Amino acid sequence: MGQSQTEMGGAVMLTAREVREGLIIRRDGDLYRVTSVTLHSATAQQGGVVRASVRNLRTGHVTEARWAPDERVDDVPQEAAELQFLYADTDEVVLMHPETFEQFSLPRAALERYLPFLKEGSMVRAWLCEGRPVDLDLPKQVPLVVTSCGAGLRGRQENTMKEATLENGMVILVPQFIQPGDTVLVNVETGEYQERVRRR
C-alpha cells in the first residue's frame, strides 16, 4: 500500500492523484466505476485538478468528478467472481453463484448496455464489493455474426455505412462491404462496429 493511502473502517482512502481507471469509488453513498482519469497540472493562476469520468453502478449514469490532487477519495475494494446470468426483467438483472446457487439482483438500468451481449445460462465475470456483485466485466469487443443486411451500393465510398442485423438482434451501422455471414467486432460500451473478423 502506498504511503499516501490510509484505511478507514475497512475502506481504502486514496489521494485523487492515485485514482486510476477501473477503480470503484464511493461518493455520496453510491458506488461509481472510474472509466477515465485526467490530471491537469497546476498553473500560476490555478491549482492542479484531477478530472474523472465515473459511472454510477446503481443508475448507469456517467458524470464527471473533480478533485484537488491531494483530496481524499474512498476506494472500495473489489474482487472478481464467475457468476451465471439467469435472466433480466423490466427492473433487474439476476445472476447466480454456480456452486452455492445464491442469487443476486442488480439494477437493470446500470447494466442495460451489456444485455444484448449476454445469453441466458452463460457464465459472466462479475465484480463484487462487500460480497455482492455490483458490476460486470465484459470484453471491450465482442464478435457477432451478421444475419442480414442490405447489399453494398456500388460507387459508394468505403466510409459510408448501412444497417445490419446481428445474431443477438442488434441493429448497427456497418461498412458497405459487410455481407450476411460475416463476423464483426462490436464495441460493448458503445454498441458500434469496430472491424470485420478475418475468415480463417
pLDDT per residue as tens digits for the range 101-154: 999 999 999 998 889 999 889 999 999 998 999 999 988 898 999 999 987 666
Q: In the predicted model, is pLDDT for residue 156 greater than 60?
A: no
What 3-state class would DSSP assign to 20?
A: coil
What 3-state class would DSSP assign to 17?
A: helix
Band (pLDDT 50/70/90 cuts) for residue 46 is low
| Domains parsed from the chain with CATH numbers | 6-75 (2.30.30.30), 79-136 (2.40.50.140), 141-196 (2.40.50.140)
| Lookup result for grid cell 472500495 | 76
Tens of pLDDT along 88-99? 999 999 999 999
- Burial of 136 by CB count in 10 Å (0-12 exposed, 13-18 middle, 19+ buried)? buried
Band (pLDDT 50/70/90 cuts) for residue 42 is low
Band (pLDDT 50/70/90 cuts) for residue 3 is very low
Least confidently predicted of 7-16, 48-57, 139-148, 161-170:
7-16
Residue 117: what are its φ and ψ, rounded to 5°? Answer: -100, 5
Strands 141-149 and 183-187: antiparallel
Band (pLDDT 50/70/90 cuts) for residue 44 is low
Measured CA to CA, the distance from residue 126 to residue 188 in angstroms comes to 15
Q: In the predicted model, is pLDDT for residue 41 greater than 80?
A: no
Q: What is the average pLDDT score of the chain? A: 88
Least confidently predicted of 31-40, 41-50, 60-69, 143-152:
41-50
Q: In the predicted model, is pLDDT for residue 26 greater than 50?
A: yes
Q: Which residue type, as a one-letter code, is found at position 77?
A: P
